[in-house]
Amino acid sequence: MPCYNVDKYITNCLNSIYGQKTNYKIRLIVINDGSSDETKKLIELSKNNCPFELVIIHQNNKGLSGARNAGLELLDSKYIMFIDSDDSLAGTNAIDSLLSVAFFRDADIVEGSINYINNNKVSGIKQHENGILSVRDLCGQVWGKVIKSNLFQKICFPSSYWFEDSIMAQLVYPQVNCEKVFGIDTFVYNYTSNSHSITHQAARNNKCIDSLYVTLRLYDDRRILNLNNTQEYYEYILRMSRLSLRRMIRMPYKVKKAFFDIYSDFIMREFSNFNSCSYHLLEWSLKKGWYFLFYLICLK
C-alpha cells in the first residue's frame, strides 16, 4: 500500500484492511512515500491495531511507482494484492474471498467486483460473475484483485512515469494462462474518486504526455520479455492512442500534433501488417497520417 499525503483517507483504508477476517497468512506492507502531512503519524498510531504481520517503510518521495517497487522488493508470497491508500477494501471478507478461489484454482489472477465511490456514495459498480474471466474484461488497474507473485518476477513499475498501471495490460496480463483467470461476484474493493489523484490532475499537467512515453517504453520491455505482438494487443494499442489524446486534450495544438505524428509512425513501423477488427476509422486516420480525423474520432 503506497501512501503519499493521504491523511484524509488513510485511517479508513487501514481500518478496512485491519478488519479483514481470514485464516490466510497476511503481510501488509505500507510505504510512506515522503508524505509531508499527517500520513506518517496516522500510520504509526494505527500499527497496534493490525492483526497481521505489518511492515512500514518510510522513504523519500519516489512517486507511486517507486513506492510500489519498494514493496515488491520484499515480496516472498505466492500472491500479491495492491491497494491505494485513498481507497478501501469492501466488507470484511474481501481478502478471504479472493484467496480462497486463488488457492483452490491455482489461479494466476482473481479479480473481485468493484464499487466506485464519489462523495461517499456508490456512483457505479463493476460486478463479475463467478468463474473464468476473459483477460480483456480485467480492470486495467492493479487493485481489486490478487495476482500470482511470479508474474512480477522480472518486472517492476516504470519509475517517474504517470499511468504506471499500464504494465498490467502490456506486461502482466500477456503472461497469464487464460484458463487461470477468474472473477468473483463478491464486492472486494471501493475505488474512491479523489480530486488530487493522477486521473483528475492529468489534463492540467504536462505529465499527461507520459501516457505516450510509458506506452512506448513498455512496448520495448515486451521485447525483452519475448512477448509477441498479437491482434488483441494491437487493438489495445489503438485504444491507447485515443485515451492518450483525451488525457492531453488541454495541451497546445503542437503538443497534440507531435503526439499524433509519433504514434502514427509507431503504428506504421510496428503494426503495418495488422488490421483492426474494431477501430477501423481510428486505424485509418493513424495509418494515413490524418490528424484532424483522428482528433474528431477521439472527441466522440
By residue range, what is the domain housing residue 31?
2-194
Residue 133: φ, ψ to 5°? -120, 135
Do 158 and 214 reside in the same domain of the chain? no
Residue 202, pLDDT > 90, answer: no
Q: What share of the chain is helix, strand, coil (3-state, %, to 5)?
A: 45, 20, 35
Percent with pLDDT over 70 in the chain: 96
Question: What pLDDT, on a 0 to 100 scale, did the predictor assign at position 30?
Answer: 98
Residue 203 pLDDT class (50, 70, 90 cuts) = low
* Domains in the chain, number: 2
Residues 203 and 178 in one domain: no
Average pLDDT, the chain: 94
Same domain for 142 and 44, yes or no, is: yes
- Residue 186 and residue 205 in one domain: no
What order do you get walking across the sheet with 27-33 strand by strand?
A: 2-3, 27-33, 53-59
**Per-residue pLDDT tens over the stretch 134-183:** 999 999 999 999 999 999 988 999 988 899 999 999 999 999 999 999 99
Assign 300 a pLDDT band (cuts: 50, 70, 90): confident
The reply to whether 171 and 37 lie within a common domain is yes
CB 146 within 8 A of CB 99: yes
pLDDT value of position 205: 85
Q: pLDDT tens-digit profile of 205-224?
A: 889 999 999 999 999 999 99
The more confident residue out of 130 and 196 is 130
- 161 & 263 share domain: no
Please tell me whether residues 93 and 124 are part of one structural domain: yes
Q: Which of 194, 217, 247 is the last residue of a domain?
A: 194
Q: How are beta strands 2-3 and 27-33 bridged, if at all?
A: parallel
CATH number at residue 136: 3.90.550.10
Of 136, 166, 194, the residue that ends a domain is 194
Residue 200 has pLDDT above 80, yes or no: no
Do 49 and 175 share a structural domain?
yes
Tell me the backbone φ, ψ of residue 145, rounded to 5 degrees: -155, 160
Same domain, 171 and 207: no
Q: Residue 27: what are its φ and ψ, rounded to 5°?
A: -120, 125
Contacts of 243 (CB under 8 A, 6+ apart): 211
pLDDT the model gives residue 211: 94
Query: Cell match 488483441: residue?
Result: 232
User: For position 90, what pLDDT does the model report?
Assistant: 96
239-267 per-position pLDDT tens digit = 999 999 999 999 999 999 999 999 999 99
**Domain final residue pick, 160, 194, 228:** 194
Per-residue HEC secondary structure of 10-46 comes to HHHHHHHHHCCCCCCCCEEEEEEECCCCCHHHHHHHH
Least reliable range by pLDDT among 3-12, 28-37, 117-126: 117-126
Taking only the tens place, the pLDDT of each residue in 58-76 is 999 999 999 999 999 999 9
Residue 198 has pLDDT above 70, yes or no: no
pLDDT, tens digit (0-9, with 9 covering 90-100), for 267-296: 999 999 999 999 999 999 999 999 999 999
Question: Does 217 share its domain with 274?
Answer: yes
Q: Are residues 168 and 152 in the same domain?
A: yes
- Indicate if 31 and 55 belong to the same structural domain: yes
With residue 185 as reference, give the H or E element that holds it: strand 181-192
Q: Which ranges constitute the DSSP H helices of 165-252?
A: 166-167, 198-201, 210-224, 231-247
